[in-house]
Amino acid sequence: MWRRFLHSLRQAGEEARLPLLPLLGVCLLFHLWTAYASIGYHHADEHFQILEFANHALKGSPASDLPWEYGERIRPALQPMLAAGFFQALSWLGVDHVIWWNYLLKALTSMISLLTIVLACRLVAPDLSVSGK
């Protein structure tokens, strides 16, 4: 599957006269570096609505330490549960430090976003012409 995907990217790059695979490699490095170099969180919700709820699901923090939204049940649970599952899998693999959990979650999220961009470009590329019309 991946081999076919990479071959189609290489072929699309040749047709567009662009080095798509090297550009994708550079994007991959930038995404991974950004996940590594970003310290802390960008907005309080990133921590208190996802990471803290995931930590609670893993029995790491009591409900009394959570924001009021937890008791009122007004926040979606999908992202915290996905994060908790990811953290549990990392724990089973022997990765027990929360700093690594945070980095690997950011890296995974970044890879999913990069894959989404690539797939969206592949989807619309046949409808685009070189002249932009």
Structure tokens at 71: 């008791």
Report the range out of 44-48, 59-63, 104-108 with the highest average pLDDT. Answer: 104-108
Tell me the average pLDDT across 56-64. 88
In a domain, 132, yes or no: no
> What residues make up the domain containing 92?
46-125
In a domain, 104, yes or no: yes
Terminal Cα distance for the chain, rounded:
32
pLDDT tens, residue by residue, 4-28: 877 777 777 677 666 777 888 898 8
In a domain, 89, yes or no: yes
List Cα–Cα distances, 122 to 17, 49, 117, in angstroms: 15, 34, 9
In a domain, 27, yes or no: no
At residue 126, does pLDDT exceed 80? no
Are 67 and 48 spatial neighbours (Cβ–Cβ below 8 Å)? yes
Q: Mind giving me the DSSP string for 68-119?
A: HHHHHT-S-SHHHHHHHHHHHHHHHTT---HHHHHHHHHHHHHHHHHHHHHH
In a domain, 58, yes or no: yes
Rounded to whole angstroms, the Cα distance separating 38 from 107 reads 11
At residue 133, does pLDDT exceed 80? no
The mean of the pLDDT values for the chain is 83
H or E, element range at 3:
helix 2-16
Q: Which of 78-82, 91-95, 123-127 has the lowest mean pLDDT?
A: 123-127
Count of domains forming the chain: 1
pLDDT at residue 86, as a whole number: 96
